[in-house]
Amino acid sequence: MSVIRITIDGPSGTGKSTTAKLLAEKFKYKYIDSGSYYRAVTLQVLQSNIRPNDVAKMAEITKKTDLEFKNDDILLNGVSIANKIRTIEVTNKVSTISKLRVLRKIINEKLKICADGDNIVIDGKDIGTVVFPDAQFKFFLVCDINTRAARRKQDFLDAGVNVPLDKVIKELQKRDELEFKRNDGPLKKAQDAVEIDTTNMIIEEQVDCLYKKIIASDIFK
């Protein structure tokens, strides 16, 4: 059997990352969080006070960004950044950074290298359409904006930050606008992807739903 690639795309707050991680554990596959690469670059851009129009400097940082996914942690050059890349500052800036063509090209190549030769579960925004268009299993998660906002607000609360729900909704709408309409790697459902509405699902149900659809395929018979 050739290597298995499972892609999970969709807007922020649909449960992509947690679902992908737990699904990878269930199959004992490698998990790749593509969004962490963009967040890691965004974190470094903010820390270095790089000007918004200095794309060359951002590209230089991106080329040097290599992540290691270890248990529940994310390491950048051996240093944990899992909590640092989930701050509201990074979250509000990442869509602006991720729309840059040169950065997307560099990161997409890094994702392919990271996946080389392994069975993987990977989540993102254009994984099934651009990065791994030939993946055997593609899913696109959707969810009501209010539910997405409630989930994201809880993420912030878990990090010790209380953000008003209406502000979270506005930020998600702004992010959707940027991601669905960007020229390179826009957020969209692949033609052969299975759409899953996670509005009324808890994470365990999402994982179980995808798992059952995958093992029911001819590939696993």
Q: 183-215: per-residue pLDDT in tens?
A: 888 999 999 999 999 999 999 999 999 999 999
Burial of residue 88, with CB atoms counted within 10 A of its CB: 0-12 exposed, 13-18 middle, 19 or more buried: middle
Average pLDDT across the chain, whole number: 94
> β-pairing, 120-124 with 5-9?
parallel
Domains identified in the chain and CATH numbers: 5-196 (3.40.50.300)
The gap between the terminal CA atoms of the chain, to the nearest Å, is 12
Residue 2, pLDDT > 80, answer yes
What pLDDT sits at residue 88? 86
Q: 131-181: per-residue pLDDT in tens?
A: 999 999 999 999 999 999 999 999 889 888 899 999 999 999 999 998 999
Burial of residue 84, with CB atoms counted within 10 A of its CB: 0-12 exposed, 13-18 middle, 19 or more buried: middle
HSE at residue 48, side-chain half, CA atoms within 13 A, is 15
What pLDDT sits at residue 143? 98
Q: What is the pTM of this model?
A: 0.93
d(CA 43, CA 91): 9
Residue 146: both structure tokens together: 């209010």
- Amino acid letter at 84? K
d(CA 167, CA 60): 33
Residue 70, pLDDT > 90, answer no
**What is the phi-psi region of residue 145: left when phi exceeds 0, alpha when psi lies from -120 to 50, beta otherwise?**
alpha
d(CA 28, CA 121): 10
173, 152 contact by CB (below 8 A): no
